[in-house]
Structure 1
Amino acid sequence: LQNRKQCVKIGEYVSQNLDVYSGVPQGSVLAPLLFLIYINDIHSCVSSSIQLRLFADDCVVYIAVKKSDDQILLNNSLESIHAWCVTWGMKLNADKTKSITFTNKKHPLSFTYTLGDTQVKKYDQVKYLGLILTSNLRWEPYIKSICSKAVGKLHYLRRKLRNTPAHIKLSAYKTLIRPTLEYADIVWSPHQKSLINKLERIQKLAVRFVYSKYSRETSATSLIVQSNLQSLSQRRIISRLKFLFQLLHGHFKIANSQYLHPPFKHSSRTNHSKTLRQPVSRVNIHKYSLFPDAITYWNKLPEDAVKCTSVELFLNYIEKID
């Protein structure tokens, strides 16, 4: 885009025009596409061993650091990205640029990364695509955050839907509150009883709101059964199994061979025909993460379930399994 100018108008006053040398008109239909085309070659700035992920105008660069040379390689890639931005008239937001190291080591390798003349600030906790990621890969801060948001939404519904029929309030819970508790749940699904209960408590509060039954004499569990609601923990298991089914059937542009492998030995008596190799886990953080945990449940499914030919049939089958 060339020969563009912009000005600011406040009431009847209009500023002088200024030339616009880069960028695209905000709010236009083509703006997102033009932006993506413009930054499409940014991947060429980084080494082949560096991972770069783009989402809209967010960019994440990372590497598995095993030695100090890996840190230098990552920093060189950051400098290359900075140089690319200078060349093409892009400006990185230094205040929003953060560095985090994911590790369980007591004394991890330390390094100060730079972008031009600016040092990248180090954090123990960052927010990415709505998730709160911590350096020790614990999900307590994120779960605490979504529970707080869900309670706030529930209080709002209690004020606005006080005299509304139960089925309307139940629908409001399913569409406005439960999604808050389930966003990206295949990633962060907890195994600790305290966190599981913290999430289930929100659903118990919700069904009391649905039926206006706030007395302790009324069981929240019975209200959940009455509402035909599954527990949130059960829904998270189903979400992980659904993801695994879709991955195995090529629904994503992900090479499943990178994460899923057949077992070394196959026992036809105890395992179904699509049994997967269980990854070896030394710590609970890995054991209860997406793939190891999903594979554990997958390998316990009956033969008829794993032979389903569509996601709908698969979900209908596993939702009937206790």
Structure 2
Amino acid sequence: MEKNKILSPNQFRFTKGKSSTDAMFSLIKNIVQNLDRGNSTVGMFFDLTKAFDMIDQNILLEKLSCLGLRGVSHSWIKSFLCGRGHMVKIPYIDKFGCKQVAQSSTTSTLRGVPQDSVLGPILFLLFINDLPSCVQNESICLYADDTSISISTRDRPELEVRAYEQTSALVQWFNENELILNSAKTQILDFNIRNPSNNDIPMFLVEDQEISPCSVTKFLGVNIDRNLKFDQQVDSVCRRLSSGVFVLKRLGTFAETEVLLSAYYGLIHPFLSYGVAIWGYECARTHFLFRLQKKAVRAIFKKPNRFFCKSLFKDHKILTFPSIFILNTVIFVRNNLSLFSSETETNNYNLRTKNKITIPKHRTEFFKNHLVYNGVRLYNALPDSLRSMSSDRSFKKGVKGLLMDECCYSVGEFLLQR
């Protein structure tokens, strides 16, 4: 599939070299650029009911045939899918205290793909692969069955009409492919750099159901708000960190430092790093987040509240939150140079040389808070020796070593040292 480029470039799940951060960037980059240009923009996040279990096997087999899978291979896939028996087993304890199992009769189904197999997710991707073709001139993002689109217009009155047209096209595709759209869980964000009055917020029709835009939605585990400030996301991570700090302090009453460090990388670090290149730009809220991280480090090494932590970060090779943000951001840029270079000019087409990426043109300060801008800025700030590395693994190791040595307490501090 990779060799023949069968899968849609809009699909980010179960795809080699792509992650949830790639999916978020694909959608958010388009939204940020349109808001910066002054366009009216909405994001629509569709929820499908049990998509993997609702796949019509006959439709899937027909699509596989259209993709060129015929003959023995097609028959093998048909044998893999069809005629599978399903039953339900419920263990229980009888009145004599003995373990028993209640078992239903076996039944077969013509729907669904096995999710507990290697082939099942691939078949699902092929089933949904033609979905992006039904949406014209809009940014669409697929993460398995999670379907999201952003719609932008220059004139505000056109927005509702365009949204209705594109939504109708998606609903028609869902109906033709016998997938069930859950309109009640479908969410819409009416993006705006400023907070408009309630009179300016439009209503949108999805399957003849009127939906009012919400103020925040969760997209691939990250809370996205209508102003793209990610305040709710940072607050959510802060709550996770506060709970983690509490656990570390309790563990500290009887556990050794090595155990507490392991707990830190299970309770604290994952929340600081997941999707951070998207939401972790420097602001008052992320400063508070960093303070919570320092509380966690003090708890690990049993230091008082006002103890200066920089030596602890450096000696034990723990990345500060600003360093985690910088590391994830520059690695993302490195892995996706074509996404940044396509809209910028460089002095040479070989982007892995010492040449820097030109900062994309923009009109607003809002633009500077997002990966499409600060990713380029941070990548350009790296030493030439790092940017010119041919190996991605060596690049990551080199950047991580640099950040551990410098132990930056802010993104601004990192940039000032360049």
TM-score, structure 1 normalization: 0.81
Instruction: Give 1:73's aligned residue.
Output: 162
Instruction: Give 1:52's aligned residue.
Output: 140
User: Unaligned regions of 5+ residues in structure 2, if any?
Assistant: 1-56, 58-81, 93-100, 348-352, 407-416
Given the alignment of the two structures, is residue 196 of structure 1 paired with residue 277 of structure 2, yes or no? no
Tell me the distance in 1 between the aligned counterparts of 2:310 and 2:169. Answer: 57
Q: Report the secondary structure of 1:79's partner residue.
A: helix
Instruction: Indicate if the aligned counterparts of 1:50 and 1:74 stay in contact, CA closer than 8 A.
Output: no
Instruction: Indicate if the aligned counterparts of 1:139 and 1:190 stay in contact, CA closer than 8 A.
Output: no
Instruction: Indicate if the aligned counterparts of 2:139 and 2:149 stay in contact, CA closer than 8 A.
Output: yes
Structure-2 change in CA distance of 1:58 and 1:223 (3 Å): same
Q: AA paired with 1:63?
A: I
Structure-2 change in CA distance of 1:160 and 1:317 (3 Å): closer
Tell me the distance in 2 between the aligned counterparts of 1:84 and 1:120. Answer: 20
Given the alignment of the two structures, is residue 205 of structure 1 paired with residue 295 of structure 2, yes or no? yes
Instruction: Give 1:32's aligned residue.
Output: 121
Tell me the distance in 1 between the aligned counterparts of 2:211 and 2:307. Answer: 54
Structure-2 change in CA distance of 1:4 and 1:135 (3 Å): same
| Percent of aligned pairs with the same amino acid | 25
> What is the root-mean-square deviation of aligned Cα atoms in Å?
3.1
Query: Aligned-pair distance for 1:258?
Result: 2.8
Tell me the distance in 1 between the aligned counterparts of 2:374 and 2:282. Answer: 10
Match of 1:307 among 388, 407, 411: 388
Deviations along 1:271-319, one digit per CA (max 9) or x if unpaired, are x941222234443321121132122233333433322222343344441
Q: AA paired with 2:147?
A: C
Tell me the distance in 1 between the aligned counterparts of 2:206 and 2:105. Answer: 34
Instruction: Give 2:357's aligned residue.
Output: 276
Once the two structures are overlaid, the 10-residue window that deviates more, 148-157 or 126-135, is 148-157
Match of 1:118 among 196, 200, 209: 209
Instruction: Give 1:84's aligned residue.
Output: 173
Tell me the distance in 1 between the aligned counterparts of 2:278 and 2:189. Answer: 18
Q: Report the secondary structure of 2:190's partner residue.
A: coil
Given the alignment of the two structures, is residue 294 of structure 1 paired with residue 375 of structure 2, yes or no? yes
Query: Aligned-pair distance for 1:179?
Result: 1.6
Match of 1:98 among 142, 163, 187: 187
Instruction: Indicate if the aligned counterparts of 1:65 and 1:71 stay in contact, CA closer than 8 A.
Output: no
Q: AA paired with 1:112?
A: M
Once the two structures are overlaid, the 10-residue window that deviates more, 7-16 or 51-60, is 7-16
What is the total number of aligned residue pairs between the two structures?
307
Given the alignment of the two structures, is residue 258 of structure 1 paired with residue 342 of structure 2, yes or no? yes
Tell me the distance in 2 between the aligned counterparts of 1:296 and 1:26. Answer: 41
Instruction: Indicate if the aligned counterparts of 1:147 and 1:181 stay in contact, CA closer than 8 A.
Output: no
Query: Aligned-pair distance for 1:184?
Result: 1.0
Instruction: Give 1:266's aligned residue.
Output: none
Q: Report the secondary structure of 1:101's partner residue.
A: strand
User: Unaligned regions of 5+ residues in structure 1, if any?
Assistant: 249-253, 264-271
Q: Report the secondary structure of 1:274's partner residue.
A: coil
Answer 1 or 2: higher relative contact order, Cα 8 Å, separation at least 6.
2
Q: AA paired with 2:299?
A: F
Instruction: Give 1:64's aligned residue.
Output: 152
Tell me the distance in 2 between the aligned counterparts of 1:237 and 1:219. Answer: 22
Q: AA paired with 1:60?
A: S
Instruction: Indicate if the aligned counterparts of 2:83 and 2:109 stay in contact, CA closer than 8 A.
Output: yes
Structure-2 change in CA distance of 1:291 and 1:38 (3 Å): closer
Instruction: Give 1:187's aligned residue.
Output: 278
Structure-2 change in CA distance of 1:39 and 1:304 (3 Å): closer
Tell me the distance in 1 between the aligned counterparts of 2:398 and 2:88. Answer: 59
Match of 2:318 among 229, 233, 237: 229
Deviations along 1:118-164, one digit per CA (max 9) or x if unpaired, are 22341011110011111111122111101111221332344456422
Instruction: Indicate if the aligned counterparts of 2:201 and 2:213 stay in contact, CA closer than 8 A.
Output: no
Tell me the distance in 1 between the aligned counterparts of 2:336 and 2:118. Answer: 32
Instruction: Give 2:225's aligned residue.
Output: 134
Match of 2:327 among 231, 234, 238: 238
Tell me the distance in 2 between the aligned counterparts of 1:88 and 1:302. Answer: 51
Deviations along 1:69-91, one digit per CA (max 9) or x if unpaired, are 35423321211221222222211
Match of 1:174 among 261, 265, 283: 265
Query: Aligned-pair distance for 1:191?
Result: 2.1
Q: Report the secondary structure of 2:268's partner residue.
A: helix
Instruction: Indicate if the aligned counterparts of 1:22 and 1:89 stay in contact, CA closer than 8 A.
Output: no
Tell me the distance in 2 between the aligned counterparts of 1:276 and 1:9. Answer: 59
Instruction: Indicate if the aligned counterparts of 1:99 and 1:121 stay in contact, CA closer than 8 A.
Output: yes
TM-score, structure 2 normalization: 0.64
Structure-2 change in CA distance of 1:44 and 1:283 (3 Å): closer
Instruction: Indicate if the aligned counterparts of 1:278 and 1:296 stay in contact, CA closer than 8 A.
Output: yes
